[in-house]
């Protein structure tokens, strides 16, 4: 009889352990602004680069992904989402202003005055510039494409239909929201 009691007790303890593992974790606070780190889809155990400053909240991320226009401003989304992007932090400057950090699978929302604007990034001594123009109420998408290989990484401004870049943006994380 004792072996049966031991087996039953072991089964109850094991089942309780399994059930505890199934307990739901509390949902993240969607209003918190915190540092964001890139997490590779291939290597889930290795933490990628992180932003140095807190990024907008998950609520702001969801709102930005509605891709709504501001009637008075030109809204530009800088999207960095490629299957072969390297885990590098790249900074983008708008019209010579302060640098804005990007990570793989991230986007930046810029709300700019109507007119023409220069977007610039520098990587390993190579300076690349893209120009974007529009009026108040316009929404534009610009893609920063990266590829990484064992012998190095390369980045460029990619030319792609706006709808395709918008679909990429929906799969990214908002890391900066620049307002005038």
Domain regions of the chain by residue span: 28-178
Measured CA distances, 104 to 78, 134, 162 (Å): 12, 26, 19
Cα distance between residue 111 and residue 119, in whole Å: 13
Average model confidence (pLDDT) across the chain: 85
158 falls in which pLDDT band (50, 70, 90)? very high
**pLDDT over 70, % of the chain:** 78
Distance of alpha carbon 58 from alpha carbon 55, whole angstroms: 9
Confidence of residue 148 (pLDDT cuts 50, 70, 90): confident
- Whether the predicted pLDDT of 19 surpasses 90: no
């Amino acid at each position: 009889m004792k072996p049966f009691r031991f087996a039953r007790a072991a089964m109850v303890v094991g089942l309780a352990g399994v059930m505890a593992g199934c307990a739901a974790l509390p949902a993240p606070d969607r209003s918190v602004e915190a540092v964001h780190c890139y997490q590779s889809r291939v290597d889930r155990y290795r933490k990628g680069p992180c932003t140095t400053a807190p990024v907008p909240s998950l609520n702001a991320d969801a709102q930005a992904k509605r891709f709504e226009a501001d009637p008075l401003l030109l809204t530009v989304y800088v999207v960095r989402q490629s299957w072969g992007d390297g885990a590098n932090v790249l900074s983008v400057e708008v019209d010579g202003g302060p640098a804005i950090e990007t990570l793989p699978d991230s986007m930046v929302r810029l709300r700019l005055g109507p007119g023409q604007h220069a977007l610039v990034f520098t990587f390993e001594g190579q300076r690349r510039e893209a120009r974007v123009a529009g009026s108040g109420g316009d929404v534009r998408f610009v893609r920063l494409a990266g590829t990484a290989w064992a012998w190095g990484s390369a980045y460029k401004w990619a030319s792609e239909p706006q709808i395709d870049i918008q679909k990429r943006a929906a799969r990214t994380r908002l890391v900066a929201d620049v307002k005038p």
